[in-house]
Amino acid sequence: MSQTDFTRLAQYPGSGCEKYDRRGEIFGREDVIPLWVADMDFPAPDFVTEALAARLADGAFGYAKPTAEHVGAITGWLAGQHDWRVAPETIVPVPGVVPAMAMAIRAFTSPGARVIIQPPVYFPFFQVVLDQGRTLVENPLVEQESTDGGRRYVMDFEALEAQAAEAEMLLLCNPHNPGGRAWSADELARVAAIGARHDVMVISDEIHMDLTYPGIRHTPFARVAEAAGCRWFTVTAPGKTFNTAGIGGGYAVIPDTEIRTRFDQERRGMHLGEGSVFGLTALKAAYTQGAHWPAELMRHIAVNRDRVIEATEDLPIEPMPPEATYLLWLDCRGMGLSDAVREPEDRSLQRFFIDEAGLGLSQGIIFGEPGRGYMRINLATPTRVIERAMTQLREAWEKRIARRQRPA
């Protein structure tokens, strides 16, 4: 039974959501179909909106703190969805995943220390390192032909090993945004072994952990980290899975007592509080009533993924088939356009998508240099929106080709 209406646009112009209301600022136009920032256009599932409505009806919004019930909801979710059993005391509430990374960098690395990231990657990974006055080390992912003929990203372990010798921390994106990889236990074990050999602490961002496609399972970094003996912790949140990202709130899972104590000291020192009434309400409802939701959601997302893959078959665009996330990474290098900032308009990849196709996607280059020539499309929208977007893309490209072929 459906718990949300996957055909309803719950975000729309004037609803106060970034995706629609920042179009002018981001794309220079208000009329593009917005398929960029990583949230969903359809409503959160019924059990979440009903719990929030009930909380709202109480009319009191005083301070809130996670209780044993919230922690139980988290440990139950991790066990039920990911077969990951954690003790309640390992859970530490955080305001969000990125703020938790900032705290981790401050708590566990020295000023100027090298922190490794693996681009193309969710762009705040760059800034969160630089903002703490640390040195960014890039370990770019490598594209590889996969067994089904598509391409996928793999890690460059040789380079990682060399870089780790001088680094203090690695920010891991598991599953990976924008590449859509659900890293395998074997890949993660190699990361953990490198972390252990060089005493590089691994912070595993697992915010997309629930969003794997049918038949694919997420591997928590925890599964390999303890055996390898590396220093690590994981940080995640229910916001991507249940479309509550704008409410905020997340949690870290930190089994090592010493690491947890040090992290907690840093966290408390920031005086950010322990959560909002709505964040905690949404988390509890989501994690206690939502066991069937991720599979249902990802069946819908898979339809949209397939629509894009089919629609681009005869265009010079190669989608990278994702194992996880509702984001699809499009290799547009075959279009012969460029994302250099000063490119004349008719050579610009971003301007083609905005001005000619009327689409507001995320530009690949913001995820780092390996994203040059790529675009990222957000699939978490009604299927008719994806279909309209693909029609606009095709028509724009056909017009472009016709223009090129017209004799001067």
Ligand X SMILES: Cc1ncc(COP(=O)(O)O)c(C=O)c1O
CB of 254 to ligand X, least distance (A): 16
Residues 252-281 that bind ligand X (CB under 6 A): none
d(CA 293, CA 208): 14
- 241: closest CA among 289, 277, 273? 289
Q: Does 236 bind ligand X (CB under 6 A)?
A: no
Q: Give pairs for 223-227: CB < 8 Å, separation 24+.
A: 223/84, 223/185, 223/188, 224/185, 224/188, 224/189, 224/191, 224/192, 225/188, 225/192, 225/195, 226/255, 227/189, 227/192
Told to check if 205 binds ligand X by CB under 6 A, we report yes
Question: Which helix (H) or strand (E) element contains residue 262?
Answer: helix 257-269
Stretch that binds ligand X, among 66-74, 93-101, 164-172, 345-353 (CB under 6 A): 93-101
How is residue 95 annotated by DSSP? S
Residue 23: what are its φ and ψ, rounded to 5°?
-60, -40
Nearest-CA neighbor of 206 among 322, 78, 375? Answer: 78
Tokens of 98: 């990125």
As measured in angstroms, the least distance from the Cβ of 237 to ligand X is: 5
Site membership for ligand X, residue 191 (CB under 6 A): no
Nearer to ligand X, 137 or 235 (CB): 235
**Judged by CB under 6 A, which stretch of 3-11, 107-115, 237-245, 297-305 contacts ligand X?**
237-245
C-beta closer to ligand X: residue 90 or 118: 118
Question: CB 88 → ligand X: shortest distance, Å?
Answer: 21
Q: How many residues would you count in the chain?
A: 408
| Residue of 173, 203, 280, 386 interacting with ligand X (CB under 6 A) | 173
The C-alpha atoms of residue 177 and residue 291 are separated, in whole angstroms, by 23
The one segment of 66-74, 91-99, 164-172, 399-407 that binds ligand X by CB under 6 A: 91-99
Binding segment (CB under 6 A) for ligand X, from list 54-62, 94-102, 185-193, 355-363 = 94-102
- In the complex, which residue's CB is closest to ligand X? 96
Residue 220 within binding range of ligand X, rule CB under 6 A: no
List CB contacts of 18: < 8 A, sequence separation 6 or more.
37, 39
Q: How far is the CB of 199 from ligand X (least distance, A)?
A: 25
x/- track of binding to ligand X for residues 96-135 (CB under 6 A) = xxx-----------------------x-------------
Shortest reach from residue 331's CB to ligand X, in Å = 20
Interaxial angle between packed helices 185-198 and 157-164, expressed in degrees from 0 to 180 and rounded to the nearest 10: 20
Nearer to ligand X, 36 or 42 (CB): 36
Residues 354 and 337 sit within 8 Å (Cβ to Cβ): no
| Only segment of 72-80, 92-100, 312-320, 386-394 that touches ligand X (CB under 6 A) | 92-100
Measured distance CA(239)–CA(250) in Å, rounded: 8
One residue of 32, 33, 35, 38 binding ligand X per CB under 6 A: 38
Question: For binding to ligand X (CB under 6 A), which residues are involved?
Answer: 38, 96-98, 122, 173, 177, 205, 207, 237, 239, 245, 250
